[in-house]
Structures are given as C-alpha cells and as structure tokens.
A and B are shown apart, each in its own frame.
Chain A
C-alpha cells in the first residue's frame, strides 16, 4: 500500500464468489468420499442390498474362499464364514451398526464435550475447575471397565454401545476445546466484541465456535475411526452388538478362531473398518481446508 491516501486497488478478481463457485470440487478426495458414500448407502439400504441373507446359514457352503481363489465362486464374492454366511452380505449389514454408532456417538459426545469445554474455558474459575475435575475422574476409569459396568446393568446392544462411547469420549472434546477457548478468549477480537457491547451468546457463536471449528472437525473425523474400533472391541468382547444382529466388530470376533484356515473371515471386515476410518480422516482434512478462509483457494 502506497503512502498516505492511495489504497491498493482491489480488482474484480478479488471480489468474493458465490459459495457454490467457491466450493471448488477440484482436489476433493473423491475416493474417500466414494467409500463413505458406499458405507452410507449400505447403512441405509441394509438387507435390501445384500446378495444373500446375512444370517442365512448354509453349512454346505462353509469356509468358501473369495472368488479369486481356486475354490472360490462368484456366488460368494468375499467368501463365507464358518456357518456358510456370506461375508459381503454381513459387511453390508454390519455397516448400519457402524454408521449409527459413529453418528450418534460423535454427535452426542461432540456436543456435550464442546459445550462443557467452551463453558469451562470461557468462564474459568470454579466452573472450570468443577468440569475439569469431573472429566479427570472420568478419565481415570478405563473405557472398557465403564463398558463392563454398563453392560452388566443394562441390556447389551446398540444403545448401550452409544452411551458407553459418549461417556468415554466427551472428555476428549471437553479438554481440547477448553484449552482452545482459553487462548481464544484472550484474543483482542473477543475483548473488542465486549467493548462493542456484544453479549456472551454472541461471542460464543460468532467468535469462539467458528474458531474452534477446525479443531472440532479434525477431532470428529478422527473419532469416526476410534468409535468404529471401540464398537468393534465391545462387540468382540461380547459387550456390544449381540447376534443375530451383526457388526464389523462382531464379525472379527466370530472369525478370529478360524483365522489360520479362513483368513478372509477376519480380513474383509478389517479392511472395511480400515477404509472407513481412513476415508473419514481424509474427508475431514479436506473439509477443514475448504471451510478455512485462509486456506480457501480462489
């Protein structure tokens, strides 16, 4: 900018574009998006999409390998398990549990943890100490021990899994968001908003929430993987989803004892878990960049 009066000319190219133009699809992680869409379709479509009944026993067809192996058939693309159930069908059916657990658990633990974190960080003092002490007490209890208590007192199943995960993960959000807010509330633009006469609610939603959004998004997408694996561990231990329902974790658990001669039974749901986690992390990174004005490429 030149001295005194002449400001830098702002050209037409600098003017903002409408959001849909700005929402550039070039450079989007298409493969991860595709994988997540497939998982969602599987979760919504469920048993309507499966080539076989996911619970249909066919002992004559037990331990069929995937189609590309000599003994495999195109009828069972990813092979069958010890009871002759189609692995592909069970993965599709299990996607519903994984998706439901991930969505609910992340939504609730994220909302509870973020709100408590903002309140603790913004108000400080005794409110902060109370919330953080509760979070620390919770963190001293191992997640699986908590899960054991809950499944002993409640019926094991989908809702118990979600409750256990929410109770386990809210502290995660709470602590990280609190520390972000601690630094944000000292920013001059928060001071200025107070000087301008804005109330706490306005400051929350205009200055704090958008600026912790990056962190929140990264935490949430990282948590997709952790939640799916947590659900898998609970189901693996028999504390989560109960047969005849299925989930990816339960499939791992069922197929574990046959791993030496039917590797596909445990590998295929494992790959499904891995791809879903990886995809959600990559899509999360992309979304974070897309929504950050500094990184937005025009």
Chain B
C-alpha cells in the first residue's frame, strides 16, 4: 500500500517584468514510495521538494501526471475515497510554531483529525489522547495546555501525535527536525524511527539535511530544479554518488574534521532558476563535467547497472565511458 508519483508536474504561472511566465516547480517526477520504507527527497531550497509534498497531500493539484495511492490516481478518486485517503496519509510540517493553532489546547489539536472522521464518545477520545501523548513521550497532563507552553521539540512531538491520531499508513515529513535545536533533533529523530517500527509506517521525507536523510531513509531521490536526477537505495547514493549534482551536494556536507579541506566548488556560483531553466540538462551550467551534448539534450532518468537510476549523459548513453 504505497504511494506512487507518475510523471508528476506542477507549473505555477507568475507575473514578471517581462509579462507572464511559468515556474516549472515540479517537472515529470516518477517515484515510488513502497510500503514500510522511508523515501527521502533531497535538494536545494526551491528545487520543488515541498511542492511534491503538497501534491501528495492534495493541498495542490498537479498540472499533469498523477499521484497514485493503491494504484488509483488521487485526481480520479470519489469523495469517500478522498476521505479514506485523508485517513491514511498524514503530515508533520517543518515549523512546530506555525503548525499548531495557538488558540486550541493540545487535546483539541490532537483530536482534530479524529473528529473530522469519527464521532467517538468522550471517554474513548480522552483515552486515545492519553495514549497518543504517551507514544510521543509527553505527560497526559499536557493535553489541557496550549502550544505556547511547550518548547520547540515538545511542540513537534504534539505535531507527531496529531499525525498518528488516525493510525495512518503514510506520513509525509516535511523537514521534520530542521526547525529544531540541534540538541533535541536526535530525540525527535529517534521518536520518528520508533513509531515507524511500531506502526509499520511509510515515510516520505523531505529534507535538505543529508545527515538526517542518511540516518532515516531507505531510498533517496535527489531533486534538481523539479526533476529527479538520481534515485536509489540510500547506502548506494551516500557511499558512491554518481550524478555530478549528487556528488556536489554530498561534498557540501560539513565534516567534523578540522584538517579536511573541502574541494573547491568550481562553477557553483550560478544557481539555476525554475523560471528560466537552462536548455538540455538543467544542471549543465553548474556541472564541472558539462559536455556539448548536455546543452542540447536533457538526459532521461535511466537505470544504471547497479540498480539505481540517474539522469546524466556521463552515466548513460554513448558518452558514459568518459566518466
């Protein structure tokens, strides 16, 4: 019971000085999120990660392509099927200060998803609130407090409890720990791993923090300007990145070694724009290995011999040998 992105695109029209233009936030993304796994989407800010999350949460409608759940496109679902999808797929957002309504008590925040679908009696509901708070490691007395009475980490626990309220199959984690203090990131991360194991959850993880991704995910999809450039099992991507963008991304991770001198990030001053994507391979203006063909042809996402997928002329096709 997984989620599947099929040729998913999302374009926004914007007004610029030159008139109307189209931002291709997400462009032809194909991705499978198998049940029980954690698939991570990584990439720079503005690469379309969060738009993909919004499409999967039905907060935005795709321009083309589809998000399939159980083999059925979200766009073709009936009202009751959408309601069922809402029960199965929940989310945890980045900023725990913005994702909890300051006017509601924790009890009302956590019960919101339950009451949107069911009408249990008070005793059952209160028992469920206590159970959820216990799962996320908060005392039962927290239920009657307001969000501002908690720290960032505690607030994120409340957000996780809310996401668990309906016993979902899939949770979309949009930068779940990046807004938190470094000192409490590990706890929230452990909590996320514990509940995944306990409830057999599937995660779609949106992150720019590669250390988190390496720790949590089973599969990684690297996104550049709205398209997947490399996708494969987490160990493969992290131990031997193939696409030049993935290599650059991993190279940019700070290392806890004072003697380590990072390789010069040559040619990396030019950030790509989704408004006017470069011709051919969208990464070529920044790519240290760019060839003539890269300016003309956009390389397709193809399977490499080791099973992962990558979109680069160096790795697939007639130019592959040069790498």
Which positions in A face B, CB cutoff 8 Å?
A: 1, 3-5, 7-10, 14-16, 187-189, 191-198, 202, 206-207, 210-211, 213, 293-294
A1-B151, A197-B116, A211-B101 known; A10+B142 contact, CB < 8 A:
yes
- Minimal beta-carbon separation of A296 from chain B (angstroms): 9
B95–A198 CB distance below 8 A: no
Residues in B with CB closer than 8 Å to A191 are 54, 57, 59, 91, 93, 99
B93–A196 CB distance below 8 A: no
Chain B window 52-66, contacts with chain A (Cβ cutoff 8 Å), 1 for yes, 0 for no: 001001110000000
Question: Which residues of B in the span 150-194 have a Cβ within 8 Å of any Cβ on A?
Answer: 151, 153-154, 162, 166, 183-184, 186-187, 190
A7–B137 CB distance below 8 A: yes
**A-B residue pairs in contact (CB < 8 Å), sample of 13:** A3-B183, A4-B190, A15-B144, A188-B94, A188-B99, A189-B98, A189-B100, A192-B91, A195-B57, A195-B58, A195-B91, A196-B166, A197-B117
Question: Which residues of B in the span 91-122 have a Cβ within 8 Å of any Cβ on A?
Answer: 91, 93-95, 98-105, 109, 112-113, 116-117
Residues in A with CB closer than 8 Å to B98 are 187-189
Q: Report Cα–Cα, A192/B162, bound state, in Å.
A: 10
Residues in B with CB closer than 8 Å to A7 are 137-139, 154
Residue B221 at the chain A interface, CB threshold 8 Å: no
Which residue of chain B is the closest to A12 with respect to CB atoms? B141
Which residue of chain A is the closest to B138 with respect to CB atoms? A7
Question: Which residues of B in the span 118-146 have a Cβ within 8 Å of any Cβ on A?
Answer: 137-139, 141-142, 144-146
Total residues of chain B contacting the partner, CB 8 A? 46
- Minimal beta-carbon separation of A250 from chain B (angstroms): 43
Residue B149 at the chain A interface, CB threshold 8 Å: yes
B101–A198 CB distance below 8 A: no
A14-B145, A188-B99, A294-B146 known; A197+B139 contact, CB < 8 A:
no
A294–B153 CB distance below 8 A: no
Which positions in B face A, CB cutoff 8 Å?
A: 54, 57-59, 83, 86-87, 89-91, 93-95, 98-105, 109, 112-113, 116-117, 137-139, 141-142, 144-146, 148-149, 151, 153-154, 162, 166, 183-184, 186-187, 190
Q: Report Cα–Cα, A151/B113, bound state, in Å.
A: 53
- Minimal beta-carbon separation of B61 from chain A (angstroms): 13
Residues in A with CB closer than 8 Å to B94 are 188
Which residue of chain B is the closest to A9 with respect to CB atoms? B139
Residues in A with CB closer than 8 Å to B86 are 195-197
Which residue of chain B is the closest to A193 with respect to CB atoms? B112
Question: Which one, B101, B148, B149, B186, contacts A189 given CB within 8 A?
Answer: B101
Residues in A with CB closer than 8 Å to B166 are 196
B90–A196 CB distance below 8 A: yes
What would 18 more interface pairs be, CB under 8 Å, given A16-B145, A195-B86, A196-B112?
A1-B151, A1-B153, A3-B183, A3-B187, A4-B190, A10-B141, A10-B145, A187-B99, A188-B99, A191-B91, A196-B90, A196-B162, A197-B86, A206-B101, A210-B101, A210-B104, A293-B102, A294-B148
B102–A195 CB distance below 8 A: no
Which residue of chain B is the closest to A184 with respect to CB atoms? B101
Which residue of chain A is the closest to B54 with respect to CB atoms? A191
Residues in A with CB closer than 8 Å to B93 are 188, 191-192
Residues in B with CB closer than 8 Å to A193 are 112, 116
4 tightest CB-CB pairs across the interface, nearest first?
Answer: A188-B99, A196-B113, A197-B86, A10-B141
Which residue of chain A is the closest to B93 with respect to CB atoms? A188
Which residue of chain A is the closest to B183 with respect to CB atoms? A3
Residues in B with CB closer than 8 Å to A210 are 101, 103-104
A10-B145, A293-B146 known; A188+B112 contact, CB < 8 A:
no
- Minimal beta-carbon separation of A225 from chain B (angstroms): 27
B144–A202 CB distance below 8 A: no
Residues in B with CB closer than 8 Å to A10 are 139, 141-142, 145
Which residue of chain A is the closest to B101 with respect to CB atoms? A189
Q: Report Cα–Cα, A198/B166, bound state, in Å.
A: 13
Which residue of chain B is the closest to A213 with respect to CB atoms? B103
Residues in B with CB closer than 8 Å to A196 are 86, 90, 112-113, 116, 162, 166
Question: Counting chain B CB atoms within 10 Å of each CB, which of A8, A10, A14, A15 scores highest?
Answer: A10
